[in-house]
Amino acid sequence: MRATRDEAGDVGDVGRQDGADLAGDLGERREVDRARDRRAAAEDQLGPLGPGHLTHGWSVSATGTWFHAVQYSVRREDGRVDFDEVRDMARRERPRIIFCGGTAIPRTIDFPAFASIAREVDAVLVADIAHIAGLIAGGAHPSPVGHAPVITTTTHKTLRGPRGAMIMSDAEHAKALDRAVFPGLQGGPHNHTTAGIAVALGEAATPAFASYARQIVANAVALASALVERGFDLVTGGTDNHLILVDLTGKGIGGKPAAKALDRAGIECNYNAVPYDTRKPFDPSGIRLGTPALTTRGLTEAHMPQVAAWIDEAVDAAIKDDEATLSRIAGEVRELLAGYPMPGWAPA
């Protein structure tokens, strides 16, 4: 995903101009509109899942108004990023920014490969590590430092802090980013959240957090393999990190009814588009599972076959409208987790 050199202007200028000025300044309004139509048509066809996030310039996000973005996707056959496609696209489009990272990527992000493409076309590589920041901090995923001059993250996913965000950059881009954030976008600071983030970062620097990060991945790998054994179709066939994207097409149930049934069975996940989804984004074909929360509760690989069995049974029950089975599973989940209370919370 990218903002083009022509339309975005300087990276640091973006926060100070509104979308209309930005396009107008460059005198390319109609071309921008045509590109947006083409992009919307492509999104409609693919569903909102290349390997990215809405905030990387998707037309339905404000960022899609400010920037002209085009999306690379993943290969149909294996759900992986096709770096030849990314390179060809970068050579053709000459972007100012290339984003890597995203919201439903179950595999290791190859930062050096993205960096080499960005260098070739003189683009700024932005690594959005929102999902994997905790894994990186704990040494369970390679770091983008030294490859991406700008790194963005949320603080509330695997980093396990309060809802917030951070932007890290090299000295070259620091001033432009600071200006774009304030006064460009941000109001007053939320000091209580900043204090909470400081605590989370303190935790993330400990050896215990590194063990936590490794266990998240070990649990995800074990859960993925137990799901595959039960006949689930996983995007990319498995996972290298904390998340698993399950394509339910072959099961004959949409992601939304499955996720809602799993919720009633005491298992939290979200419905999610899969690559080249034939269903609509709000009623997609997949569910996205993650292991950070159950790892925090103290579950290990040994528990994952049971978790997979519950998921399997619950999806089956959803297909059959079998509420009694969902309630029974919810009871079993409660019973297991009674032995693994939330840290810092003593049940009465």
Ligand X SMILES: Cc1ncc(COP(=O)(O)O)c(C=O)c1O
Residues 82-121 that bind ligand X (CB under 6 A): 101-103
| Cα diameter, the chain | 65
The position carrying tokens 């290791």 is: 108
* Gap between the Cα atoms of 105 and 127, Å rounded: 13
Complex with ligand X: residue 154 or 241, whichever CB lies closer: 154
Binding string, residues 124-143; x marks residues near ligand X by CB under 6 A: ----x-xx------------
User: Site residues for ligand X, window 22-61 (CB under 6 A)?
Assistant: 53, 55
Count of residues that interact with ligand X, criterion CB under 6 A: 9
Length of the chain: 348
Contacts of ligand X in 188-227 (CB under 6 A):
none
Does residue 154 belong to the site contacting ligand X (CB under 6 A)?
yes
Q: Report, in Å, the least distance between residue 166 CB and ligand X.
A: 11
Minimum separation from the CB atom of position 249 to ligand X (A): 23
C-alpha–C-alpha distance, residues 85 and 73, integer Å: 8
Stretch binding ligand X (CB under 6 A), from 91-99, 110-118, 123-131, 296-304: 123-131
Distance CA 191, CA 193 (A): 5
Strand partners for 272? 286
Closest CA to 95 of 122, 57, 71: 122
CA distance to 138, 153, 194, 238, per residue, from 156 (Å): 15, 9, 12, 24
Beta carbon nearer to ligand X, 130 or 204: 130
Distance in Å, CB of 56 to ligand X, minimum: 8
- Looking at the Cβ atoms of 53 and 173, the one nearer to ligand X is 53
Residue with tokens 């304030």, as numbered in its chain:
182
Tell which residue, 65, 19, 5, has the closest CA to residue 40: 65
Point out which residues bind ligand X (CB under 6 A): 53, 55, 101-103, 128, 130-131, 154
